[in-house]
């Protein structure tokens, strides 16, 4: 197993951004935090989603992967009325064959 920490992506010190086990990559929860910060991207759900996906992309790249390799994404929203805004920001990152996605309030 190899643990991956990406210095430019904010994280709590109690966990790594990802662990690689054999040929599988397990990514920890990713927030919409600005680079080198624990502050959320300003502007609400859309900008936070875009930043979270940029952070995820940075982590995947550090692991030698891309969004094409992602099998499942869990999305946690505090307000399901923002699902459309989140989905509009999410869709450009995952292409025409998106991974499985779960929306949870």
Q: What pLDDT, on the 0 to 100 scale, is given for residue 72?
A: 92
pLDDT band at 104 (very low <50, low <70, confident <90, very high): low
Q: What pLDDT, on the 0 to 100 scale, is given for residue 91?
A: 93
Q: What is the mean pLDDT of the chain?
A: 93
Q: What pLDDT, on the 0 to 100 scale, is given for residue 95?
A: 83
Residue by residue, DSSP assigns 14-66 as TS-SEEEETTEEEEPP---BPTTSSSBPTTSHHHHHHHHHHHHHHHHHHTT--
Distance CA 69, CA 95 (A): 12
- Residue 88, Cβ neighbours under 10 Å: how many? 13
Q: CATH number of 2-104: 3.30.1330.40, 1.10.3470.10, 3.40.50.300, 1.10.10.10?
A: 3.30.1330.40
Length of the chain: 105
pTM of the full predicted structure? 0.92
The position carrying tokens 């759900």 is 45
Tell which wins on pLDDT, 97 or 41.
Answer: 41
Looking at residues 42-68, what average pLDDT do you find? 97
HSE, side-chain direction, 13 A CA sphere, residue 51: 21
- Tell me: pLDDT of 13 over 60: yes
Looking at residues 77-102, what average pLDDT do you find? 90
pLDDT band at 100 (very low <50, low <70, confident <90, very high): confident
Q: What pLDDT, on the 0 to 100 scale, is given for residue 97?
A: 85
């Amino acid at each position: 197993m190899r643990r991956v920490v990406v210095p430019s992506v904010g994280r709590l010190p109690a966990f790594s951004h990802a662990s690689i086990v054999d040929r599988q990559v397990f990514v920890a929860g990713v927030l919409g935090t600005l680079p080198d910060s624990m502050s959320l991207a300003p502007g609400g759900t859309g900008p936070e989603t875009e930043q979270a996906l940029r952070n995820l992309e940075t982590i995947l790249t550090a692991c030698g992967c891309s969004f094409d390799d992602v099998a499942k994404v869990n999305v946690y929203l505090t307000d399901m009325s923002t699902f459309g805004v989140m989905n509009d920001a999410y869709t450009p990152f995952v292409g025409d064959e998106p991974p499985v996605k779960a929306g949870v309030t």
